[in-house]
Amino acid sequence: MPHFWLGYVLSEYSSAGVNSLNLQARLTERFQKHGWATATFTKVDFLVRLTGFLLIGGLFWEWSELFFSPLIGIEPDSFFAFPITLRNIDGALDVTVGVVGAAFAFLIKHKAKFRKK
């Protein structure tokens, strides 16, 4: 549950932060100019939310687990070890559940737009 809510919260903060700088509108224009004709503000918002969570939650959080776990005497589950097996699947599951939380935040934010269609 904590990873789901972390994905949700980081998604909301990423979207709000990028939107406050008007970057979503500029990214939408840029994508449309460079051939992604179907780019809309909603699609760019989804990409911003996923990118925000994956950068902060996926990389920073999992890296900090790897770095700080030995300092407190815990053997970390290695997220960055390949191939992913049952011994090291913890990090991959954490990030996947966080992505689901980020997608859920996006759906809640844009639910009115999806109901109209």
- Cα-Cα-Cα-Cα dihedral sign, residues 81, 85, 87, 88: positive
Domain hosting residue 52, numbered range: 2-116
pLDDT tens digits, one per residue of 68-89: 878 888 776 665 566 767 766 7
> What value, to the nearest 5°, has the Cα angle with vertex 99 and ends 97 and 102?
115
Q: Are 6 and 96 in contact (CB under 8 A)?
A: no
Question: For the chain, what is the domain count?
Answer: 1
pLDDT tens digits, one per residue of 24-63: 888 888 888 887 777 777 888 888 888 888 888 777 777 7
